[in-house]
Amino acid sequence: MKHLLKMADLSAQEIIEILNLADQLKYETHHGIPHPVLQGKTLGMIFEKASTRTRVSFEVGMYQLGGNALFLSARDLQIGRGEPASDTARVLSRYLDGIMIRTFAQEEVETLAEYGSIPIINGLTDYCHPCQVLADLMTIREVKSGLEGLKLCYIGDGNNMANSLIVGALKVGMKVSAATPATDKPHADVMAFAQQFKDFSWTDSVPDAAEGADVLITDVWASMGQESEAAERAARFEGFQINRQLMEKAAKDCMVLHCLPAHLGEEITKEVFDAHAGEIFEEAENRLHAQKAVLVRLLGGKTTVR
Ligand code: CP
Ligand code: NVA
């Protein structure tokens, strides 16, 4: 594993190894056991979109691992004025030990990996959000004591979250159903990958997808960069909501996850969100632990802390 560009690049074994290390790092963090295994290392964090969780969890994660993190807003970097990603990658590779980037085009992340000589981590693109899905799988495994054979159901926009969840969950042996409008299906590459699995289904019927689900997941109807389309998207996604009625279709002890930020009353009701807040905020915390595991794997060249 040289980079984390998308879930498709990880084998099932690599995903499980990251989750195991994340569990260990979480235990050590909660018990005050230091793990400064990235001393002297610096992570550059390029942001071309807003962030609360990704920015803070990567920055704190690097500090807890004994290293440093630099917040690099695209508004201040020359990349924001048109300097090519290929040159940015070759320059930053001479100062930094790794780059985390949040941007629009997946191609930009792939270009950094192609031209740079240090690990590149995708902190969200329009195409995917692998760091979030590692935290989601970690949270499901924590609550359900396993992953294989459980049914994960995604409701809503076939966006970056849908793309990474479908690939990641199928890789670790989960059953996956996705309900999106026919106009907003997951990416064609993801659909092609998923259709190789007998335990994958796509539908535009929300109740059909949720039938017997062990985990229900949704995301906003308008992602970052789609703000001007919010009203027309809200009309298109009406009914693609996790609410009390839908919970009745799912398994009795069904979990609910949301990557956040959430728009209550749109993709999820306040009632369901509040009832599952424990899981949703554990999921947010697990961003820290899962990403620390990724950082140790990519920047430390180790699979275990000790
Ligand atoms: N879930 C997530 O990536 O949150 P931020 O946009 O706050 O980083
Ligand atoms: N789909 C959302 C996820 C935010 C973490 C977005 O891209 O804005």
- Position 69 pLDDT exceeds 60: yes
Write down the pLDDT at residue 301: 55
Q: Do both 99 and 156 map to the same domain?
A: no
Query: What pLDDT band is residue 305 in, cutting at 50, 70 and 90?
Result: low
Residue 303 domain-assigned (yes or no): no
Mean pLDDT across 29-46: 98
**Whole-model pTM over 0.85:** yes
% the chain with pLDDT above 90 = 98
Same domain, 82 and 205: no
What is the structure's pLDDT at 303?
45
306 inside domain: no
Place of tokens 């995917």: 128
Q: Is 54 in the pocket of ligand 1 (CB under 6 A)?
A: yes
Reply yes or no on whether 106 is catalytic: no
Q: Is 283 near ligand 2, meaning CB less than 6 Å away?
A: no
220 and 247 part of one domain: yes
107 and 197 inside one domain: no
Q: How many domains does the chain have?
A: 2
Q: Which CATH number fits the domain that encloses residue 174?
A: 3.40.50.1370
- Mean pLDDT (whole number) for 45-57: 98
Same domain, yes or no: 100 and 160 = no
**Do residues 277 and 145 both lie within one domain?**
yes
Decide if 262 is inside a domain: yes
- Any residues with CB less than 8 A from the CB of 41 and at least 6 apart, and which? 62, 65, 66, 67, 68, 97, 98, 299, 300
Ligand nearest to the CA of 259: 1
- The pLDDT tens digits of the residues spanning 232-275 come to 999 999 999 999 999 999 999 999 999 999 999 999 999 999 99
76 and 56 share a domain? yes
> Is residue 193 a part of any domain in this protein?
yes
Reply yes or no on whether the pLDDT at 20 is more than 90: yes
304 within some domain: no
139-191 pLDDT, tens digit per residue, is: 999 999 999 999 999 999 999 999 999 999 999 999 999 999 999 999 999 99
| Pair (108, 140) in one structural domain | no
Indicate if ligand 2 lies below 6 Å from the C-beta of 223: yes
Domain interval for residue 138: 131-284
Angle at 104 (CA atoms; ends 99, 110), nearest 5 degrees: 50
Q: Is residue 231 domain-resident?
A: yes
Dihedral angle computed from the Cα positions of residues 176, 9, 294 and 87, in that order, rounded to the nearest 10 degrees: -130
Judgement on whether residues 137 and 125 belong to the same structural domain of the protein: no
Strands in 175-179's sheet, in edge-to-edge order, are 200-203, 175-179, 151-155, 215-218, 255-258
Residue 306's pLDDT is what?
A: 53
DSSP 268: B
Atom of ligand 2 nearest to the CA of 225: 8
Where are any strands of DSSP class E within the chain? Answer: 42-47, 68-73, 98-102, 120-122, 151-155, 175-179, 200-203, 215-218, 255-258
Is residue 78 annotated as a catalytic residue, yes or no?
no
Task: Mark whether 88 and 154 lie in a shared domain.
Answer: no
**pLDDT 10s digits, 96-146:** 999 999 999 999 999 999 999 999 999 999 999 999 999 999 999 999 999
pLDDT at 302 over 60: no
